[in-house]
Amino acid sequence: MSDDERQALIREELDAAQLSIETVRTNIGVPLPQQLALARRVRELNDGQLREFAWTTATPNTSQLTAITNLLWDSFSSAPTEDFFAIKPFISSVGQLRLRLKQLQQFGPGRGFYAAVFADQRAYAATKKRKEPDFGATIRDVNRFMRDICGYRIPSRLRAVESVLRPVLQEHGIPAADYRGYASTIENLYMGVAVAALDELGIPPQLIAKISPQLRGAQTADASYGVLRGLETGALSLTPFEREILDEAIGGLGGGQTTMNI
């Protein structure tokens, strides 16, 4: 198949799914087949179902969380990436994913969340008359869930869902959805310690959000300070005022040279 033929086929698929090329380009990093599948699923929803997605709060209610997690799981956990949101046996179904997100919202990313997970696993082992769960393996699963699922996969796919939903909701006369608050909440649950550490340095949340990709591996205050010391602020897409704030914070940590290019 020639390149022209391939492009023509892609345009046909986009037209059939009523998915614009602008939306596809917005969702860079999300495979085209997944975007097409998502667009087709969204187009099958009726008015009542669509309204479950028209929320803008930082925390969805129960029915909204059910709707969005079902759509995420159905659209992005099919072959060949069926384990996109799964960490088996810690999370092997959409119901388990939803439970962990609820627990994370309730307890935060600290000891309370770990305790809730351990309690669930103990109860499950007791009902199945199995030996006590492997706590070391559980901790690894929880850390992976926080890092991979909360730190990247859910936020990135939430933004894709929002962009695909936007024209459909508009066509139905339904207020637009805005998942940025929830996506940030999920990301910040993973980066809770790092965010708190930088907040104590006087760095505002909006600026922390801008440098969040650089903080993705920082799970302790010391690690976040180390990342901050190594930042070259001149290489970041920041306003002069934002750069000045970061440079001041880095200087207070005894950081090295920073670049002041504007």
Q: Where are the alpha helices (DSSP H) in 44-191?
A: 47-51, 62-76, 94-107, 111-127, 135-144, 154-171, 180-190
Tell whether 25 and 154 lie within a shared domain: yes
The domain boundary, picked from 184, 207, 236, lies at 184
Q: Name the token pair of 160.
A: 């894709």
Is the entire prediction scored with pTM above 0.75? no
More confident residue, 260 or 4: 4
Closest CA to 34 of 93, 103, 106, 82: 82
Query: What is the average pLDDT across 27-45?
Result: 89
CB distance 154 to 186 below 8 Å: yes
Tell whether 94 and 124 lie within a shared domain: yes
Tell whether 154 and 30 lie within a shared domain: yes
The domain boundary, picked from 184, 206, 225, lies at 184
Range of the domain at 249: 191-262
Tell whether 86 and 127 lie within a shared domain: yes
The pLDDT tens digits for 43-99 are 999 999 999 999 998 889 999 999 999 999 988 876 444 568 888 777 888 999 999
Tell whether 141 and 101 lie within a shared domain: yes
Q: Name the token pair of 47.
A: 């008015």
The domain boundary, picked from 184, 212, 228, lies at 184
Tell whether 22 and 139 lie within a shared domain: yes
End-to-end C-alpha distance for the chain, whole angstroms: 47
The pLDDT tens digits for 153-212 are 888 899 999 999 999 999 999 999 999 888 877 876 665 556 666 766 778 767 877 787
Tell whether 162 and 197 lie within a shared domain: no
